[in-house]
Amino acid sequence: MSRLIPAVERLRRAHLLIQKARNLPVPVEGGKYNFSYIAQVKALLQDARDLVKFIPKAPSATTGIKEQVNQIFQETDQANQEILH
């Protein structure tokens, strides 16, 4: 049985995934329009969203945690725009 990951740890991991997406090297062949690169970036950003998407539904989620989850969603959208567009 897998263990539960606390909300704070999920938020930390989501930030790391967003940073990892930002730090991915742009391939020489195809540049930022390389399909493999786009898929990697989108997968990392989706993983970040998936880590935190159910946190606001938990009864123990505080207002501060819910705000941090909203910031993660905004950061992933912003990172997607900055990296791929």
Is 68 inside any structural domain? Answer: yes
30 domain-assigned: yes
Nearest to 6 by CA among 52, 43, 47: 52
pLDDT tens, 33-59? 999 999 999 999 999 999 999 999 999
User: Considering the domain boundaries, does residue 53 fall inside one?
Assistant: yes
Quick one: what percent of the chain has pLDDT higher than 70? 98
Determine, yes or no, domain membership for 67: yes
Total-model pTM:
0.93
38 lies in some domain: yes
Residue 1, in any domain of the structure: no
- Looking at the structure of the chain, the number of domains it has is 1
Q: How far apart are CA 48 and CA 28, in angstroms?
A: 26
Q: Decide if pLDDT at 75 tops 70.
A: yes
Q: How far apart are CA 83 and CA 38, in angstroms?
A: 9
- Show the domain range for 13: 7-84
The mean pLDDT of 60-84, rounded to a whole number, is: 96
Is residue 2 a part of any domain in this protein?
no
Query: For position 2, what pLDDT does the model report?
Result: 66
72 within domain boundaries: yes
Average pLDDT, the chain: 95
